[in-house]
Chain A
Amino acid sequence: MKEITVTVNGVEHTLEVDPRLLLVHLIRENLSLTGTHIGCDTSNCGACTILLDGKSIKSCTVFAVQVNGKNIATVEGLAADGLHPLQEGFKETHGLHCGFCTPGMLMRAVELLEKNPNPTEEEIRWGISGNLCRCTGYNNIVRAIQYAAAKMRGDELPVTDPEFV
């Protein structure tokens, strides 16, 4: 067992952990933050994506001991009050069905928009290509991220009613 101190969504925790404990299990089991999901065992699906010191990472691919002294943000900490523009975008544009991939998509998109506040569709598609969604077909996830980007830039919001000719 090893003692680590980690700040999660702004709250500092000191925990005794098994050196082999995966970060995703620390988050889900030890801290009961079950918004971060597990969808694979090969680092492919991105359902477990969180922010580590502001960078999006797959928390199933990192040991808990590796985040000693670091800062973590999960979906539960995305908005202090109300909804983050990305959360609003996903709801407004129907960017989710079952919701299982959603927390990972949201956390990935946070970093994406931080680095590139005005991404093209192509850039968004490549930007979320480490996150799998089996339900939505991605069209509306792209629109959700565009919506959030516009909102965060303070631009006029795109039309969110579906183009369903």
Chain B
Amino acid sequence: MPKLISGAEIVFKALEDQKVEYIFGYPGGAVLPIYDELKNHKSIKHILARHEQGAGHAAEGYARSSGKPGVLLVTSGPGATNAVTALTDAYMDSVPLVCISGQVPTHLIGTDAFQECDTTGITRPCTKHNWLVKDANDLSRVLHLAFEVATTGRPGPVLVDIPKDIQFKKGKYKFIKNSLKKKLNGKATHKLSNKELDKFIELMKKSSKPIFYTGGGVINSGPNASKYLRELVSLTGFPITSTLQGLGSYPGDDPQFLGMLGMHGTFEANNAMHDCDLMINIGARFDDRITGKVDEFSPKSTKIHVDIDPSSIGKNIKVDLAVVSDVSELLKSLIKRFKEKNKNFLNSNKQKTSKWWEQIDKWREKKSLNFINSNKIIKPQHAVQRLYELTKDQDTFITTEVGQHQMWAAQHYKFNKPNRWMTSGGLGTMGYGLPAAIGVQIANPGKLVVDIAGEASVLMTMQEMSTAVQYGLPIKIFILNNEYMGMVRQWQELLHEKNYSESYTAALPDFVKLAESYGCVGIRAKTPDELDEKIKEMINVQKPVIFDCVVDKSENCFPMIPSGKPHNQMILGPEEDEEISDEGKILV
């Protein structure tokens, strides 16, 4: 007869067996037995957030920068509903999270008890799966299954709802591994036959205008995937572009890299996507910020799509060769096969793709990321470039909020390693970056972690500065302060006749004083002259910093594919568009 232990103890035993080191959480009535048990488990450290959404994004930042699942602990009712944004964010961006929520005691479920809500009902559409555990003897099985579901196939969030009486009740504990009878998200690792690989290789050999289009799947597949990707790209000599989430899986400063694609992607990447004859999608999902108008998306190309999630293939864009596989495994066998059969591919193919590269170089000459710099006022793009130059020699982790600053960060900060770039892409959650930075810093002590932020976004989860101070996490909040919800203002300028309805933030706090009141360091830069010095100061401070970078209020983010347009009809900058007059620029 195995020893019987309480539900709360079972929770910790399961976490220990899953080698969990950190949980991000916030206590409340319905999880008190679990909080009571915390003191008996020294290997697990609890990080007290200031809001459950903050705890959730911190767990996401932890997961994305470490490759391990993030663990979140919240109370019933408002605790659980506050976590919903973070769960949805993790669901959209495929981040493995295990959320444990307290629930009212089983006999009160359904009675509208104090702090009761239908947590499994509310979180059903934003988790891969969730469980309401009504028997303490079920708890260990469910918890281990939860970790497995979160981390298998296409990763994502799961939730385990534990009523308070179950946390007290005694039950059996058992560590059950691999209880999933089938691989989630389809047969995740079906080995490709040589015949299939040869078909893949044949398409590559036939192509004279190829492009690799890679996404977050490469990062989720682990650091090896990124290594193999570099090898394959160099073996083939093909150009490569990446989605927002894929940045870092291929070096951002490599000549074969065309930059990010999509709505605010580079001219060369988007035109190459439009004109290519072979598109090799590895771990990306053809989302609408990438494809623009579906009917006119890359009309003449043969398309290969590699994805671990079969439902991602063919969802938005029909493809010619579908490969359901983990990226790492596919690339490994593809490279092996490729090398066996095509020793001289690079040389023999150089000629075939030389015209293509010439064309790409022509597109590159547009220098679509250029902007008109100023020596009076800090341009936001310039600020990101300076931040990059001054931090590129150390292993730096970047998170962002959502808006123009996010796109400028993606365009101007060059990533060389995977897991260094954490941004909310799918859900586009303002307030993600600051708490995410906390999680990143916890997973990567001693490393430089910077949240490139907008002043509007960062106020949504600003309270988490207090968390950073409590745990001595020297995160740097680098605010590109344009006093506007810049991205909203940009759309209003371009599409709503400059009716800047509610996009100006009056009564912003003094960020330097705000920093001081949290017990961290506030720095402000107002002119280009002082920018470098101030950035260096920020990097050298061993404390959390809020950096108020006062930037041009009217800058727009270009290039841009306007809504409803195909990839080859980008707007490159203000001078191209008559509707944006100089007057308009001064106005804002």
To the question of whether A and B form a pair in one complex, the answer is no
Query: Interface on B for A, CB 8 Å cutoff?
Result: none
